[in-house]
């Protein structure tokens, strides 16, 4: 049985890689700047893989490993759904499914002053933006966008929140609109908030709509676009039959 390949492959882009694979050799790539995304690390002269997944490349110089997990690795600029765990004098402590709790300053709201600090109870669901995510430190959040406006961030009232994987969240947020949301939106009216940390919130006027939307999203993870549309049609038919 041949163990050693006769010639090593030139590139692993768009292929599955496991931890330990060496995907780039820097010794013949001098004077280039590379941007390494998640899942890759530099080990002297080689770039090797840390997480199992598919290696992706985007022009001109970005490499990353695409994988789907149940936990989240905080990055600055992401919009996530957090749950308030505690409140201190200066910060709310918010759980965003990452390695540590995140801090949400009490003044990080549009028009926030010491006099109108919002009162969030423990367990409140918030749609927030990650401002800073430095390694080794707790991430910092904000309920405003980069220019200081509220922009839909803040507390999510009513509705239903469920957990998903980070891969499913990315698929729901992709553009053009992902097939399952497209098919659901044509027949039902609902609103959703998708956090990149693997949490999805759905709200609609009737509970049966909320349940159908939530089930459709949860089941769509491993289906192709066509299969997603077929599944949504079947679910909506069942909904119409029962009402």
Partner 1 sequence: MEIDRLDGRKANQLRPLACSRNILNRAHGSASWTQGDTKVLVAVYGPKAGTKKNENPEKACIEVIWKPKSGQIGKSEREYEMIVKRTLQSICILNINPNTTTSVIVQVINDDGALLPCAINAACAALVDAGIPLKHLAVAICCCLADSGYIILDPTKLEEQSMKAYAYLVFPNSILSVRPEGSLKVQGEPMEHGVITSGTQGAMSVDDYLNCLERGRAATAKMSTVLRRNLQPQIASDLSFGDAISRRDLSGMISQREFYGVILRLDLASASSTA
What's the farthest any 2 CA atoms get from each other in the chain? 74
DSSP string, 71-124: S----TT-EEEEEEEEE-SSEEEEE-SSSS-EEEETT-STT--GGG---PPTT-
Footprint (CB under 8 A) of partner 1, residues 118-177: 135-136, 165-168, 170-171, 174
Nearer to partner 1, 112 or 139 (CB): 139
Judged by CB under 8 A, does residue 18 bind partner 1?
A: yes
Q: Which residues of 198-224 are buried (b: 16+ CB within 10 A; e: fewer)?
A: bbbbbbbeeeebbebbbebbeebeeee
Q: How does DSSP classify residue 14?
A: T
Q: Is 241 in the site for partner 1 (CB under 8 A)?
A: no
**Smallest distance from partner 1 to CB 205, Å:** 27
Q: How many CA atoms lie within 13 A of 204 on its CB side?
A: 16
Give min distance, CB of 184 to partner 1, in A: 17
Whose structure tokens read 């709509």? 209
Q: Segment near partner 1 (CB under 8 A), from 68-76, 148-156, 189-197, 206-214?
A: 68-76
Q: Does 44 bind partner 1 (CB under 8 A)?
A: yes
Kindly identify the residues of this chain, within the stretch 70-89, that bind partner 1 according to CB under 8 A. Answer: 70-71, 73
User: Applying CB under 8 A, what is the total number of residues that bind partner 1?
Assistant: 57
Residues 200-239 that bind partner 1 (CB under 8 A): 218-219, 221-227
Binding flag, residue 190, partner 1 (CB under 8 A): no
CA–CA distances in Å: residue 226 to residues 62, 181, 187, 222, 243: 31, 13, 17, 12, 26
Report the alpha-carbon distance of residue 201 to residue 94 in Å, rounded.
17
Q: At what angle do helices 225-242 and 207-219 cross, to 10 degrees?
A: 160
Specify the residue, 101 or 107, whose C-beta has the smaller distance to partner 1. 101
- Report, in Å, the least distance between residue 48 CB and partner 1: 7
What is the contact surface with partner 1 in residues (CB under 8 A)? 1, 3, 7-12, 16-25, 39, 41, 43-44, 46, 48, 50-54, 66-71, 73, 99-101, 135-136, 165-168, 170-171, 174, 218-219, 221-227
């Amino acid at each position: 049985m041949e163990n050693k390949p006769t010639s090593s492959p030139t590139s692993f882009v768009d292929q599955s890689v496991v931890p330990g694979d060496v995907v780039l050799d820097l010794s013949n790539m001098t004077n280039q700047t590379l941007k390494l995304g998640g899942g890759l690390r530099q080990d002297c002269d080689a770039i090797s893989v840390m997480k199992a997944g598919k290696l992706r490349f985007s022009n001109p110089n970005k490499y990353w490993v695409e994988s789907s997990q149940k936990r989240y690795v905080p990055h600055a600029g992401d919009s996530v759904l957090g749950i308030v765990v505690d409140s201190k004098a200066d910060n709310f402590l918010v759980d965003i499914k990452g390695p540590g709790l995140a801090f949400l300053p009490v003044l990080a709201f549009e028009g926030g002053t010491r006099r109108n600090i919002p009162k969030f109870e423990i367990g409140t669901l918030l749609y927030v933006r990650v401002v800073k995510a430095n390694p080794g430190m707790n991430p910092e959040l904000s309920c405003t966008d980069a220019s200081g406006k509220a922009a839909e961030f803040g507390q999510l009232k009513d509705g239903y929140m469920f957990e998903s994987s980070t891969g499913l969240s990315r698929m729901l947020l992709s553009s053009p609109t992902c097939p399952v949301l497209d098919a659901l939106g044509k027949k039902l009216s609902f609103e959703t908030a998708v956090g990149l940390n693997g949490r999805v919130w759905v709200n609609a006027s009737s509970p049966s709509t909320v349940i159908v939307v939530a089930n459709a999203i949860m089941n769509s993870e491993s289906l192709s676009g066509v299969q997603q549309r077929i599944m949504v049609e079947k679910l909506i038919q069942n909904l119409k039959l029962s009402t």
